[in-house]
Amino acid sequence: MTRDICVVVPTIREYECVRAYADNARAAGFDLDRLQFVLVTEDFCDTEAMEAMLDEEGLSGEVFDGTDREQWYRDHGVAEYEHVVPAASHAETSFGLLYMWAGDYEYGFFVDDDTLPHDETDFFGRHLDNLAFEGEVTEVSSDERWVNVLYQNVEEHDLYPRGYPYSAMDESVRTESTEVDDVVASQGLWTNVPDLDAVRILMDGDLQGQAQTRLTADDYGEDFVAAEGDYLTVCSMNLAFRREVVPAFYQLPMDDNEWDVGRFDDIWSGVFLKRACDVLGKQIYNGAPLCEHNKAPRSTFGDLNNEVPGLELNEHVWELVDEVGGDADSYAGVFEAMATELAEGEFDYENGEFLNFVGEHMLDWLDCLDALESATPARNVAATDD
């Protein structure tokens, strides 16, 4: 059996969650030999304990702290592009994308370490079923051109997810059936702690970064896609995708920058991916499999400090890329057009120069992928069992 799935887990604390995902796969009869785990961590973490955990579970995988990542870049001839993956940031998941690209894995998964699978669902199998889905599904759109992925019970909980623009709230939602035939990403949603930004958590009356309103499976209904031309938040805590999207799915360089912009790495990457999907006639599937999100308590004001520098930019970044790349015929082509728009633009927003920084890094991302493809050292080719 070919090891064709790369599972990327950014972690500094709860790496034992991997055991729960392995147990879920065993219970569902999913072939664990298909999975290659990549734990992305830091130099101050116990990498030996993580490696021991993988061994105990009989799982194929590698653990990369900062030093290990630096060595990987050198080994693969891309040390000059090390800067595209920010230090000490959740956006280090981009390293997992590079690993996947170098290894020729067909599918990627992002799994956050504060999540657990629901026992009644085949986590890996359901995501792969979503990626293979062809047929009729609910299509959601709104008059604001944004889809709230929590729309199905919003009358009860009144929640909008992290990254949803404030200017797009109070939208009028429309649903209808549509046919899909080329799903390239599967976004699983979450129970327990909702994925909200700090302002919305404060409005929900919580100072520990979690929100007091909680979600259950009853808050979700049928799976759905966002209509062409409409955007949605893409959270990387529970996500599967095809290899082909990697050029347009760079997790943006947050936290490690002079403007202190953070917390929008997966949100903006989702915006760019959705634009590429619309241009190329692809779809992002949303809904099941749900995961249980057990976010650890932390200061809501700490998250707020990370988010405020980018809040105004988040209101506009989707508008800046909405009309570019329309004549491209590849993910890289659409992404390059969006990157150039940001890198060369003049933006009269708070911290507008950060968008130039992002665009430049997006262009470097494409160059890094090209360099990996042409690197002299042998690739870390996906293993094949006898």
Mean pLDDT of 186-194: 98
Q: Angle at CA 101, nearest 5°, toward 98 and 103?
A: 110
Measured in whole angstroms, the distance separating CA 187 from the mean position of its chain's CA atoms is: 9
Mean pLDDT of 135-154: 98
* Cα separation, 82 vs 316, whole angstroms: 28
Q: Please, which pLDDT band fits residue 2 given cuts at 50, 70 and 90? A: confident
Q: Please, which pLDDT band fits residue 123 given cuts at 50, 70 and 90? A: very high
Q: Angle at CA 117, nearest 5°, toward 296 and 101?
A: 95
Contact by Cβ (8 Å): 108, 244: no
Mean pLDDT of 251-259: 95
- pLDDT one-digit tens code per residue, 52-110: 999 999 999 999 999 999 999 999 999 999 999 999 899 999 999 999 999 989 999 99
Looking at residue 13, its pLDDT comes to 87
For the chain, the 3-state helix, strand and coil shares in percent, each to the nearest 5, are 40, 20, 40
Statement: residue 380 has pLDDT above 50: no
Q: Please, which pLDDT band fits residue 386 given cuts at 50, 70 and 90? A: very low
| DSSP per-residue codes, 279-298 | HHT-EEEEEEEEEEE-PPP-
- pLDDT one-digit tens code per residue, 279-293: 999 999 999 999 999
* Cα separation, 338 vs 275, whole angstroms: 9
Contact by Cβ (8 Å): 285, 137: yes
Number of helices (H) and strands (E) in the chain: give both, helices first: 11, 13
Measured in whole angstroms, the distance separating CA 197 from the mean position of its chain's CA atoms is: 16
3-state secondary structure 135-204: EEEEEEEECCCEECCCHHHHHHHCCCCCCCCHHHCCCCEEEEEEEECCEEEEEEEEEECCCCCHHHHHHC
Distances (CA, A) of 50 to 54, 56, 168, 331: 6, 10, 42, 34
* Cα separation, 265 vs 163, whole angstroms: 10
Looking at residue 20, its pLDDT comes to 98
Phi, psi of 276 (to 5 degrees): -65, -40
| DSSP per-residue codes, 12-40 | SS-TTHHHHHHHHHHHHT--GGGEEEEEE
* Cα separation, 373 vs 369, whole angstroms: 6
Statement: residue 379 has pLDDT above 80: no
Mean pLDDT of 113-126: 97
Phi, psi of 231 (to 5 degrees): -105, 165
Looking at residue 100, its pLDDT comes to 98
Judging by DSSP bridges, how do beta strands 35-40 and 224-226 pair with one another?
unpaired
Contact by Cβ (8 Å): 131, 30: no
Statement: residue 383 has pLDDT above 90: no
- pLDDT one-digit tens code per residue, 214-235: 999 999 999 999 999 999 999 9
For residue 87, the surrounding DSSP H or E stretch is none
Percent of the chain with pLDDT strictly greater than 70: 97
3-state secondary structure 209-278: CCCCCCECHHHCCCCEEECCCCEECCCCCEEEEEHHHHHHCCCCCCCCCCCCCCCCHHHHHHHHHHHHHH
- pLDDT one-digit tens code per residue, 310-353: 999 999 999 999 999 999 999 999 999 999 999 999 999 999 99
Which residues have C-beta within 8 Å of that of residue 258, sequence separation ≥ 6? none
Mean pLDDT of the chain: 95
Q: Which amino acid is at 165?
A: P
Q: What is the pTM of this model?
A: 0.95
